[in-house]
Structure 1
């Protein structure tokens, strides 16, 4: 009986050995490919179409799976939420996602994958909340949840729903009435009395720049470019910041 089974065992062992050798060769080839630096990680060298398609599907499926578990506030599209979210959008998002009447910026042109122009695209509110809070790996989209309370993130998600319907004048008027950059997560501390700390208009946690708003342009003309390049205005002028008012749903602050 053993003698009769031996040829069958041999027929099974040989394919297994071939499969094992092939697998080891693939792993070794993958390691060699990574270590050789063959793949160009430069943002100005696009992925192959198949690679991009897989990454796009992975991103969309990941966001949808997590956003579907969120409970959207019933008053999300209240005017108070939309207006408050406008100030944070103007301060934190326009350099990548633009604003009505605003052309591409150096940042939006240089990022890959290109950030969506939110003046022309509508993003599901729950998905917008999840992305703003958690960010997206290797995309340039930061996770704002570490410094921003959920109520303020929902307000930004609400504003993003409204943004494609606004023209430049309507956008500027809404930002002007928003209360400015304020999101209660420790990065911006509101000042009801209008007094600003000595270091700027609000304190920052250790390790962050003194102020991440656009710097004041110097008398020489501000942001200069190499000779022969035309000057440009990357972003619309920011309106004066009125006194802070806590948005709907936001936790109270102790000053």
Structure 2
């Protein structure tokens, strides 16, 4: 019996080596899979997503029906996903139809929101579907929000959500208008006010801070699946043009408040900190300058008073839990965020987003 086992193992090893060396299975994308191979692989993919997404919970700050979050997801989809998957009323590029597997046209009923998040965050091996560019768990929820409502859109409403107006679709990756790329305005708005919470307010931030931020996103010192792909190709003169255009905008910030958190307690933390909890006062760095005193003294520090609460909450979580930027002064913010509890972060975001 032992000899039969040894002989069988030897035959299997030889057959395996022959299969590996001679490569009889044709891997050409021009040739279909054998019957049922594609179906089996696809079902395994579905099972893998379902199992892993079953442990995912929607975070407290995420409202999947929030129009601003859906717009943010639509804008990123237009930049990064539309070429392969098409979009509502927009066909896939013919090139991708000859991939194997071909990226499918999407259907908002195919997956649950947590599953859409998992797919956007982690991608798929052997398919060309990438994982999220940055090690950020917060950002893919915008994709989950948009994809969960995918079937609600036609071409007109999709263009309005993704580009700001109907008929605005363009295949250009970056197209400058008055110094600002349309890939900036589709999320931040032409006025830099964030399109009603779809993106952070950048209008009126200092030009120096905006240039430094774009440079940090471009070289990977700051992580963001939204910003890194757009900032990396920008030349210094283009970054300067974007920063100049956004910095010259209006300064009346009316951020959308965080829907939870104690703004009054946040005010106290922001202005006085907590010696007992080793929490520094945010206002010592982020306020004190300008006519209304809501701008920081240093030009390389951003204004946060009046910013949208959703982004304030996510940024504080990021500085506390990572990935922490590796820019020159980021360690100071990381040290300030380290002692903050979830409640502290919610209260600070609730306060600063309510400042007018």
TM-score normalised according to structure 2 size = 0.49
Structure 1 residue 251 corresponds to structure 2 residue 315: yes
Q: Which residue of 1 aligns with 2:153?
A: 166
- Please give the alpha-carbon distance, in whole angstroms, between the structure 2 residues aligned to 1:50 and 1:130: 26
From 201, 204, 210, the equivalent of 2:218 is: 204
What displacement does 1:65 show?
Answer: 1.1
1:179-209 Cα distance to aligned partner (Å, 9 max, x none): 6368xxxxxx9854486759x8985236979
Structure 1 residue 105 corresponds to structure 2 residue 93: yes
The Cα RMSD (Å) is: 3.8
Structure with the higher fraction of residues in helix conformation:
2
Q: Which residue of 2 aligns with 1:38?
A: 24
Contact 1:99 1:119 survives alignment (8 Å): no
- Please give the alpha-carbon distance, in whole angstroms, between the structure 1 residues aligned to 2:6 and 2:104: 45
Secondary structure of the residue aligned to 1:77 is coil
Give the number of aligned pairs.
206
Q: Which runs of 5+ in 2 are unaligned?
A: 165-183, 189-199, 221-227, 235-245, 250-306, 320-329, 331-356
Structure 1 residue 96 corresponds to structure 2 residue 96: no
1:156-193 Cα distance to aligned partner (Å, 9 max, x none): 111001111211111111113496368xxxxxx98544
Structure 1 residue 70 corresponds to structure 2 residue 56: yes
Q: Which residue of 2 aligns with 1:141?
A: 129
- Please give the alpha-carbon distance, in whole angstroms, between the structure 2 residues aligned to 1:124 and 1:80: 20
- Please give the alpha-carbon distance, in whole angstroms, between the structure 2 residues aligned to 1:128 and 1:251: 22
- Please give the alpha-carbon distance, in whole angstroms, between the structure 2 residues aligned to 1:106 and 1:190: 37
Q: Which runs of 5+ in 1 are unaligned?
A: 1-12, 183-188, 213-240
Contact 2:108 2:148 survives alignment (8 Å): no
Quickly say closer, same or farther: Cα 1:148–1:117, change in 2 above 3 A: farther
- Please give the alpha-carbon distance, in whole angstroms, between the structure 2 residues aligned to 1:89 and 1:165: 15
Structure 1 residue 150 corresponds to structure 2 residue 164: no
Match runs of 1:226-237 below 5 Å: none
From 88, 98, 104, the equivalent of 1:116 is: 104
- Please give the alpha-carbon distance, in whole angstroms, between the structure 2 residues aligned to 1:97 and 1:33: 34
Contact 2:84 2:93 survives alignment (8 Å): yes
Secondary structure of the residue aligned to 1:251 is helix
1:55-95 Cα distance to aligned partner (Å, 9 max, x none): 22321221111110000236222223212211111111101
TM-score normalised according to structure 1 size = 0.66
- Please give the alpha-carbon distance, in whole angstroms, between the structure 2 residues aligned to 1:108 and 1:202: 32
Structure of greater Rg: 1
What displacement does 1:49 show?
Answer: 2.1
- Please give the alpha-carbon distance, in whole angstroms, between the structure 2 residues aligned to 1:85 and 1:201: 23
1:112-168 Cα distance to aligned partner (Å, 9 max, x none): 212121257542211111111111000010001x42632220111110011112111
